[in-house]
Structure 1
């Protein structure tokens, strides 16, 4: 497998930062949206949010979830290109993964929300023994996960935790807090399809 060079990783990170900045500017500009209100609702420090909006820094997955929830839009709305027509090929050596602040959880938008469909497809990688807590998504949001590599524990709200092996799948309502825990000593890979009960941003950019 081809290894990523620091220079290429930096270029991909800069591309992602610019894409998120562009989408965020458009969403903030919508009627009834304001930078100040977004900072308050998301709980992100205004100076940090300003840097993300300016494209000066690539946001972490924690940033994006908070921003998406505050705006009431799908996560993918912040990372999807505005022009997605015809055949789309996503090269592995140009992957645009969004990571957590500690770098132990990353998600790669394979086919994020683009306004034409009400589902998103992601690749998720969890570092060994890492536990990722996820905030509740919009009401009616569903997650369908399949484990491609490793052993994963998934806990949803107050339900009993479930242990999934390679090839196992799980489907649940994700509008409550939930977590993914890698139980193994090697990185684990999952594939996630996220669907919405209704279009959360009709008429949005």
Structure 2
């Protein structure tokens, strides 16, 4: 068994392979042929093919054209964290957003340097804490699971009492909030999805 070290730096010789792998993955995920991507980006099919095969390192201008055509960030094309489709997100290296008093904390459980239609978060609510969720763009759906604790979820003025391991799915383009009504920390898992990227 091989133990992967996701912190190893990328060797200069691996850069063409890295770009090619990312481009192929992003293109096929969107169901685009090389010809279609060539038309959208203004980069020739032959050049795109050479990049995907790891035989050419494009200029920043070409990378920008390709990223715009795929509607992704440059980071999505150059990301070195995904080794063979695997990304390890270490808890010790997570970016946590906390309220000023520390009663609410949110940790992203997905790579922040890639464009995606799905966002996955872990939320900690201290006893008595309330978090007012922002209204997301139209079409956004939120799926919430209470991993630990008891929570009141208010969506559009309607209260929903959720016990441990309860789940709820709701339209998140209206005001909503979460309140820990128990006497211990509550942990929630949130999945946000919307029809286009930009979460």
Coarse TM-score class (shorter-chain normalised): 0.5 to 0.7
Aligned-residue Cα RMSD (Å) equals 2.2
Give me the whole-angstrom Cα distance separating, in 1, the residues matched to 2:164 and 2:93. 26
Alignment correspondent of 2:184: 186
Any residues of structure 2 matched to 1:87-98 within 5 Å, and which? Answer: 87-98=86-97
How far residue 197 of structure 1 moved from its aligned partner, in angstroms, is: 2.1
Per-residue displacement from partner, 1:68-115 (whole Å, max 9, x unpaired)?
xxxxxxxxx9xx9x7252321122233321112221111100115622
Alignment correspondent of 1:176: 174
Per-residue displacement from partner, 1:9-36 (whole Å, max 9, x unpaired)?
xxxxxxxxxxxxxxxxxxxxxxxxxxxx
- Relative distance call for 1:179 and 1:192 in structure 2 (3 A) is same
Any residues of structure 2 matched to 1:104-115 within 5 Å, and which? Answer: 104-112=103-111, 114-115=114-115
Alignment correspondent of 2:62: none
Contact 1:112 1:119 in 2 (8 A): no
- Relative distance call for 1:156 and 1:197 in structure 2 (3 A) is same
Give me the whole-angstrom Cα distance separating, in 2, the residues matched to 1:170 and 1:161. 12
Give me the whole-angstrom Cα distance separating, in 1, the residues matched to 2:96 and 2:130. 18
What is the TM-score normalised by the length of structure 1? 0.54
What is the TM-score normalised by the length of structure 2? 0.55
Aligned pairs, number: 120
Find runs of 4+ consecutive structure 1 residues off by over 4 angstroms.
Answer: none
Contact 1:134 1:177 in 2 (8 A): yes
Alignment correspondent of 2:82: 85
How far residue 128 of structure 1 moved from its aligned partner, in angstroms, is: 0.5
Per-residue displacement from partner, 1:175-203 (whole Å, max 9, x unpaired)?
111100001111100111100122348xx
Contact 2:89 2:111 in 1 (8 A): no
Unaligned runs of 5+ residues in structure 1 are: 1-76
Contact 2:89 2:110 in 1 (8 A): no
How far residue 140 of structure 1 moved from its aligned partner, in angstroms, is: 1.0
Unaligned runs of 5+ residues in structure 2 are: 1-72
Give me the whole-angstrom Cα distance separating, in 1, the residues matched to 2:125 and 2:198. 28
